Amino acid sequence: MNKQLLFVNRPSGFPQQDAWNLVETEVPELSEGEVLIRQHFVSLDPAMRGWMNANRSYVPPMELGEVMRAGTVGEVVKANGPHKFQVGDMVSGWGGVQQYTCTNGKGYHKLNTQKVPAPLYLSTLGMPGMTAYFGILDVGKIKPGEVVVVSGAAGAVGSVVGQIAKITGCRVVGIAGGAENCRYLTEELGFDAAIDYKAGNLRKDLKMTCPEGIDVYFDNVGGEILDWVLTRIRMNARIVICGAISQYNETIAKEPANYLSLLVNRARMEGMVVFDYARSYGDAVAQLAEWMQAGKLQSREDIYVGIENFYETFSRLFNDQKTGKLILDIR
């Protein structure tokens, strides 16, 4: 049998558990040219909340009754006819929150799990790593000696952004929730400073850690944090809008009040979507892997077990009860 998590109620505000329904169905039959994948790991990402809304974003909204959308890593266990994948291959794709899926292979990629643990392909060598790499280098255009501030810095994307900025020769300040996450940034990842936004002194802490201002801000949070950062940006600053997790569950999103700082400082604020860089993923993976092998880049995966525990694990995306990449093991 195949356990599937179906999206059944479109939420307003933070999703309740009844937004999903866990069902058991028969393992799907294969059509000619398809393979059956037994899913091992499911990626949990803040973007999931946006996909649940009725309005179109950079991808179409989810339809009620469909399997919850998610990136996945799994093993090919059956094939019907010739195929680019063989039984036993480990592959990544968009299999959704279910234990089995069948596919013709479009959008799936074979993985080398002999050298790299499978969860890393949902983390630093997957979409979060790609987002960090292209966001800070291509959109942020960082240069050695610049001051870079990252919000959501202890998360899957932010932690890689900060490390890439350090590798490039920047001074890096991370904003995260809680003393333990801040310790992780400075003591384990090598950030120059960390700000605990929960401590309530964000304005003062930004001034203290960035006394001469901010050249590049990589934003995963939005809201009040973005507003305060705008008061500290320098001339020709770049602000990369990657996400706004503080706003995803709000019925009325908060707009930045200090946006005129962009005009005064001739700065720019630009959104980025990782799918725009799909043709260059291979280059990014090669560089990230090289940095990891050289000990310059660390990766942390926060893994929980059981498809039945999806809701509790999903909730950790929004309550700072995770560090690094959040993954669900559904084997």
| Distance, CA of 48 to CA of 68 (rounded, Å) | 9
Task: Report CA-CA distances (Å) from 325 to 53, 145, 268, 320.
Answer: 23, 28, 29, 12
Boundaries of every domain in the chain: 2-123+300-329, 127-275
Residue 58: the pLDDT is: 82
Q: CATH classification of 2-123+300-329 is 3.30.70.20, yes or no? A: no
Give the pTM.
Answer: 0.94
Residue 254: the pLDDT is: 77
- Please report how many Cα atoms fall inside a 13 Å half-sphere around the Cα of residue 266, on the Cβ side: 2
Q: Give per-residue pLDDT as tens, 170-202.
A: 999 999 999 999 999 999 999 999 999 999 889
pLDDT level of residue 245 (50, 70, 90 thresholds) = confident
Q: Give per-residue pLDDT as tens, 111-124.
A: 999 889 999 999 99
Q: Above pLDDT 90, what percent of the chain?
A: 88
Secondary-structure percent of the chain, ordered helix, strand, coil, rounded to 5: 30, 25, 45
Residue 219: the pLDDT is: 97
Q: CATH classification of 127-275 is 2.40.110.10, yes or no? A: no
Beta bridge partners of 42: 72, 328
> Given a cut of 80, is residue 252 above it in pLDDT?
no
> Given a cut of 80, is residue 253 above it in pLDDT?
no
Helices (H), 7-155: 47-51, 127-134
Residue 115: the pLDDT is: 86
What's the mean pLDDT in 210-214? 97
Q: Give per-residue pLDDT as tens, 255-292.
A: 789 999 999 999 999 999 999 999 999 999 999 999 99
Residue 40: closest CA among 90, 83, 102: 90
> Given a cut of 80, is residue 37 above it in pLDDT?
yes
| Distance, CA of 319 to CA of 122 (rounded, Å) | 21
